[in-house]
């Protein structure tokens, strides 16, 4: 199984590291990638940079899209808009796409999740709705091949949920215990 965590200029580091480390700890082959290929990618607010080691592969089993980190709302929207333009062509496949925080806004801005169920940071729920997404106020929303997580602190919970869903509850529990982390909230699922 291959999981790719997408980096773009201005990404939020916690949105990336939580699911990346959780999936890796479960034995999933995980990579940091960009739509342009290997490069050093600066996080938002000049927090740090991470090195993408591969090109985004639309055939990866799981693609995780983070949100952006910015101090001002208009700056966040600009970062997400730019990410949307570079990522949208690669995110049209039928494998599992997962998002953390504003990552669901990236997909919504690209028109990829119109009519779908998703969540984001509580501050962005109205924006999701305005783009035709059924915004659910839950920590994790599972809508088939789209799994979204709410705020920045939900990245580890997203990773654990994906491990449970794709590998099994035993492995998810092992990683949860390794991290000394207890998942919060109930995952909302489509019927």
Query: Which residues does 1 contact at the CB level (< 8 Å), separation at least 6?
Result: 28, 29, 61, 62, 166, 167
Query: Does residue 51 sit in helix, strand or coil?
Result: strand
Instruction: Report how far apart the first and last C-alpha atoms of the chain are (Å, whole number).
Output: 26
Which residues, including other chains, have CB under 8 Å from residue 139's CB and lie 6 or more apart? 119, 149, 150, 154, 157, 184, 185, 186, 187
State how far the Cα of 25 lies from the Cα of 124, in Å rounded to an integer. 30
Per DSSP, helices labelled H in the chain are 13-25, 73-87, 103-109, 125-130, 155-166, 169-179
Helices and strands in the chain, H and E counts:
6, 12
Please tell me the distance from the alpha carbon of residue 9 to that of residue 44, in angstroms, as a whole number. 7
Q: Which one of the listed residues 91, 101, 108, 118 is annotated catalytic?
A: 101
> Could you confirm whether 143 is annotated as catalytic?
no
Q: From the CA atom positions of the chain, what is the Rg in Å?
A: 15
Element containing residue 31 per DSSP (H, E)? strand 29-34
Enzyme catalytic residues:
101
């Amino acid at each position: 199984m291959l999981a790719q965590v997408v980096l773009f200029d201005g990404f939020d580091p916690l949105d990336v590291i939580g699911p990346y480390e959780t999936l890796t700890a479960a034995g999933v082959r995980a990579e940091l990638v960009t739509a342009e290929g290997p490069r050093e990618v600066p996080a938002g607010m000049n927090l740090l940079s991470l090195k993408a080691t591969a090109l985004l592969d639309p055939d990866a089993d799981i693609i995780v899209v983070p949100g952006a980190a910015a101090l001002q709302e208009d700056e966040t929207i600009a970062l997400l808009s730019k990410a949307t333009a570079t990522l949208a062509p690669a995110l049209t496949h039928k494998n599992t796409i997962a998002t953390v925080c504003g990552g669901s806004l990236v997909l919504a801005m690209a028109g990829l999740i119109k009519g779908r169920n998703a969540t984001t940071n509580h501050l962005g729920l109205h924006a999701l709705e305005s783009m035709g997404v059924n915004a659910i106020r839950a920590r994790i929303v599972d809508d088939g091949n789209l799994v979204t997580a709410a705020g920045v602190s939900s990245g580890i919970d997203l990773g654990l949920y994906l491990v449970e869903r794709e590998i099994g509850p035993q492995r998810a529990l092992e990683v949860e215990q390794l991290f000394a982390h207890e998942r919060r909230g109930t995952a909302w699922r489509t019927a």
